[in-house]
Amino acid sequence: MSRPARHDRRRRGTEPVRLHPKPDQAFLGMPAFPDAARVALGDQQLRANLRHATHTIRAKRLNAVGEMPDWQDLRMAAAGIKDETLAHLDDYLVQFEQAATAAGATVHWAVDAEEACRIGVEIAQRHRARDVIKVKSMATQEIGLNEALEAHGIHAWETDLAELIVQLGGDTPSHFLVPAIHRNRDEIRDIFTERMGQVGRAAPDDLTSEPRRLAEAARLHLREKFLSTTVAFSGANFAIAETGTLVVVESEGNGRMCLTLPDVLVSVVGIEKLLPSFADLEVFLQVLPRSSTAERMNPYTTMWTGVSPGDGPQEVHVILIDNGRTRALADEVGRQALRCIRCSACLNVCPVYERVGGHAYGSVYPGPIGAILNPLLHGVTDEHDAQLPFASSLCGACYEACPVAIDIPSVLIDQRAAAVREKAHHRVPTAESVAMKAAAWTFGDAKRLARAQKTASLGRGVARHVGWLPGMLGGWTSSRDLPEVPRQSFRAWWSQREDTATVKALEE
């Protein structure tokens, strides 16, 4: 097909434009958000899938939250507990380690992703594991655990249905709660049919796109993994400092299988997941399910404290990871992002996320919370992280939906300022920084500003015929009309008005 013809098809939207980072590369090589979003906007199937899914979840969540007359009180209580925990995080972490160790668990500390992966791989190798099973975990995705295990010849199998779809599809998650939100039923059927047989029990030959049939195929495929694997990896929704207990809430039952059947359990937990006491769960087990799956309570809530002789895994490891969290904790405005309980409520109400999906953010943490969490964890020296705070309309819907009252718009503005300050430190000035300095120089002196306005009015006739501007200014004219330069500046009009008034007064 000739280039013009292919271009025409894309412009008409008949050729799919996809943005699927590969799991073995994580998000390496992905373009920064503006370019990635442009690609995502051209994927009509993706936009249709996202719109249907986010609107459905959003409506159900509103009903679930509306049942709670004290919802705002619960939000504030959850935020207060998290803030108190973060204010004394060092003490609670030590308390958790002591309690978990006393219960028979082995607690490891990892300063970054590399150290966490090294610990996880060493545990799997010590038990000669060639395969491990996993329950959905954002922390293990964040550190790239699957890729680290694979590099040492150890295959990690996801057991959450949506994660299984993503893994078999050679894809990466695009949503906290619904990682395969960018896939529809027909696509899922095709993935199961083509890939299941290559890595285990094959899908039935007569598999349809009916949800019940798809779930059955996944269940039979995973059952073999559960019964033949001796090492499991998990994350945790909460870690209780008082008792050393870890908590996982889920909807499918795969988590409970992972947490009880294997001989060895390794849990990778971010240090911000701490709660001071068991009683604090009362608040979070109300706000989390209603905000995430729009349920009054999760179907499965599994808790474990160390090792129970003769019951469940007989070797339990907990890897507590920092990986930038203490950096975020040091940010006075941004530390509230560490309250996040990964419910995804902010994603489902975000007009930007609804249109571009999760992959455009280039991170395991997409959406409004990802737009602040990534730069807080990593800084804004990298182009990808520096662009994310600008991936928002600042409508404030994310704050209204957040069950722990994270003021995401305020943090976005603060991180935008950090990104601008970072650019100012560049030895080679950017076009934007030169333009801003020129504007500051012009606006810094009244006479300079008057001369600039007068010059602009002289070019009024030419500007009337300009439909677009080159370079970075083209971002304005590509979606807006260039405003007409007024015949007279306010300063000139005011001066003329004063002169007229003076003459009139003299005549009187």
| CB 262 within 8 Å of CB 313 | yes
Residues linked to residue 303 through DSSP beta bridges, in sequence order: 247
Cα 373 to Cα 366: distance, rounded to the nearest angstrom? 9
Q: Which two tokens stand for residue 2?
A: 């000739």
The whole-number pLDDT of residue 225 equals 92
Ramachandran angles phi, psi of 106, nearest 5°: -110, 120
Coil, helix or strand for 433?
Answer: helix
Q: What is the DSSP string of 2-26?
A: -HHHHHHHHHHT-S-------GGGT
What integer pLDDT is reported at residue 406 of this predicted model? 98
pTM of the model: 0.82
Q: What is the rounded distance in angstroms from the CA atom of residue 78 to the CA atom of residue 93?
A: 19
* Burial environment of residue 15 by CB neighbours within 10 A (0 to 12, 13 to 18, 19 or more): middle
Using the 8-state DSSP alphabet, how is residue 176 labeled? S
Amino acid residing at 234: S
Taking a C-beta distance cutoff of 8 angstroms, is the pair 234, 258 a contact?
yes
CA distance 508 to 180: 80
Q: Are strands 300-304 and 245-250 parallel, antiparallel or unpaired?
A: antiparallel
Please give the sequence-ordered ranges of beta strands (E in DSSP) within 199-244, or none if there are none. Answer: 231-234, 238-240
Are 53 and 353 in contact, with CB atoms under 8 Å apart? no
Judge whether 313 and 429 are in contact, CB under 8 Å.
no
Residues 209, 240 contacting (CB under 8 angstroms): no
Q: What angle (nearest 5°) sits at the alpha carbon of residue 455, between those of residues 449 and 457?
A: 105
CB atoms within 10 A of CB 289: 20
Nearest 5 degrees, angle CA 156-CA 385-CA 89? 70
Summarised one tens digit per residue, pLDDT across range 70-82 is 999 999 999 999 9
The tokens for 445 are 């002196």
- Positions of the chain with pLDDT under 70: 1-29, 427, 472, 503, 506-508
- CA pair distance 504, 501, nearest whole angstrom: 5
Q: Which two tokens stand for residue 4?
A: 């013009």
Give the span between the Cα atoms of 485 and 60, in whole angstroms: 49
3-state helix, strand, coil in the chain (%, to 5): 55, 10, 35
Handedness of CA 69, 70, 74, 80 (dihedral sign): positive
Q: Which two structure tokens, joined as six digits, stand for 45?
A: 């199937």
Among 94, 50, 355, which residue's Cα sits nearest to residue 244? 94
